[in-house]
Amino acid sequence: MEPDMSSKKPDTGPQKTQAQTHAQSHAQTHASADPAARAAELAKQYWERQWQLWQAFGNAGRDAGRLPQIARPAPADRRFDAQEWHQHPWYAALMQSYMLNADMLRAMTEAADVAPKAREQLRFLTRQFIDATSPANFLPTNPEAMRLALDSNGESLRAGLAHWLADAARGQIAITDERAFEVGRNIATTEGAVVFECELMQLIQYAPLTPQVALRPLLVVPPCVNKFYILDLQPHNSFVRFALEEGYTVFVVSWRNPRNELQQATWDDYLEQGVMRAIDVALAISGADKLNALGWCIGGTMLASALAVLGARGTQPAASMTLLTTLLDFAEPGELGTFVDAHSVQETERTFADGGLVSGKVFALLFQSLRANELLWPYVVGNYLKGQRPEAFDLLYWNSDATNLPGPMCAWLLRHGYLQNELREPGKLEICGTRFDLGEAKLPAYVLGTERDHLVPWRAAWQATQLLGGETQFVLAASGHIAGVINPPAANKRSYWTGATQPASSADDWLAHASSHGGSWWTHWSAWLRRHVGMAVPARQTPGNETHKPIEPAPGSYVKARLS
């Protein structure tokens, strides 16, 4: 889903397509002109390029090679791979004309005289419009779809209509062959047992894979906006299995897919009844003095918050904390923050004042739209225009297994995190009846950012090192929010960067002194974690204890609840 990265120095910003570079150069060229003059100049250049293209098309005959290369897609753009886009004059001209349109729209967006927040929103909407209007998305202008329809005597169109009707009935576009996977059968299969459950979550304890284990267990808090088994897809890419093979006793929180019984649940509930309860149970079962805790994305935000609250209460049950692509400082909130403003937050609070659920299907469509040319339009084209079924892919199966969220909990995070950025301010908030200060999490922390993360920009992830109360180790992994994290060592893919020992004054200062390493960050993290796990003890083969007896085999029943 995300491209592999080499071990070269990471870019200091996102990669730009040819069109984006052209658009930004236009904006810079005309920065001093008034908006009307900028728009007029951009329009003039746009029509000159379009005239040049279509004049050449009129003289090209049947030879696409006679068309000038005025605009072309980025190398990673797979929409125009079919030979007709490059060998047939009509399709070649259509593709270039579309690229010119996209170029002009981006340039107009960058040149617009608007406030920074409005520009972010305009960029997002412009990108959605550009992606949606690609000629590859429509049957008459997609040469592959037209060829398939002719070759199959219309069978591809009949199949495409059947796929559209099926997707419309369930309210979600199929992005993988869901018949190929079943949670607990060939995905999320690591052996273990549910040893505790409440309304919000089940706690899974996994069976050891080594004769001896570290005294202090590892508790994993995944994001509640998705299901936990991204960390236990299949044996070859399971983070849970890796941790077990490294000799750790692993507990994982499996959040419930909320129904009406949880429509009143709050942020405090997720901390007190979820994270803190899981800490208590894991410590009681293991008999350890402390545990090591790991949180991913919003799970990391909840974990750091819970440990800070416990620290303020005078207790610290964790020996270390690992935060994977986690926002604690929301000043740079990624693309999810684009449309969070005072009005949208007030509307959310009004909507859920008496409780309610945010549909997981809304989240699924939102996340797909953030990467529409990877997670939306290829499946519209493949499923409906070509009548094909998507391939089986475990990661995309997980991605399509959407979860609801309680409205009050979402509204709290939108206001105090994304809008007002108050989690970072000591004493500003009262959480679980305790004045909140992230500095109360006074324990060693391993903080991971990913280079091309559109949800948690890596510089925003780095900011956690400035807020926590203990010694921190920041690591930057290549690729994005998911592929940068799920990168098993055996695959020998991608790379990661570690910083110098001296404290960095900024994320860019950290980057300037960082060193590159090939492969997965998992082994580096495990070496760091070993300093905090305690002595080795014989592995216990029976899960739970007298108080917390096994309830059912892993992965449990909560994770199997799918949206209807």
| Active-site amino acid positions | 297
Secondary element (H or E) of residue 116: helix 116-132
Identify the three-state secondary structure at position 19.
helix
Could you give the C-alpha distances from 144 to 129, 291, 389, 396, in angstroms and in order?
22, 55, 15, 24
Quickly count helices (H) and strands (E) in the chain: 20, 17
Between CA 317 and CA 325, with CA 319 as vertex, the angle to 5 degrees is 100
User: Which amino acid is present at 376?
Assistant: L
CA distance 527 to 510: 21
Cα dihedral sign for 189, 395, 179, 152?
Answer: negative
Counting Cα atoms < 13 Å in the Cβ hemisphere of 178 gives 13
> What are the start-end ranges of the E strands in 349-459?
357-358, 405-406, 430-431, 434-435, 445-450
Cα–Cα nearest to 240, from 558, 498, 28, 555: 555
Could you give the C-alpha distances from 521 to 459, 480, 526, 534, 540, in angstroms and in order?
18, 13, 9, 22, 28
Q: What is the b/e burial string over 424-445, where b = at least 16 CB atoms within 10 angstroms of the residue's CB?
A: beeeebebbebebbbbbbebbb
CA distance 292 to 404: 28
- What's the token pair of residue 260? 């009406």
Helix/strand/coil percentages in the chain, nearest 5:
45, 15, 40
Could you give the C-alpha distances from 433 to 201, 265, 311, in angstroms and in order?
22, 16, 13
CA distance 255 to 253: 6
The rounded Cα 279 to chain-centroid distance in angstroms is 25
- What's the token pair of residue 513? 């002194």
Pairing of β 201-206 and β 357-358: unpaired
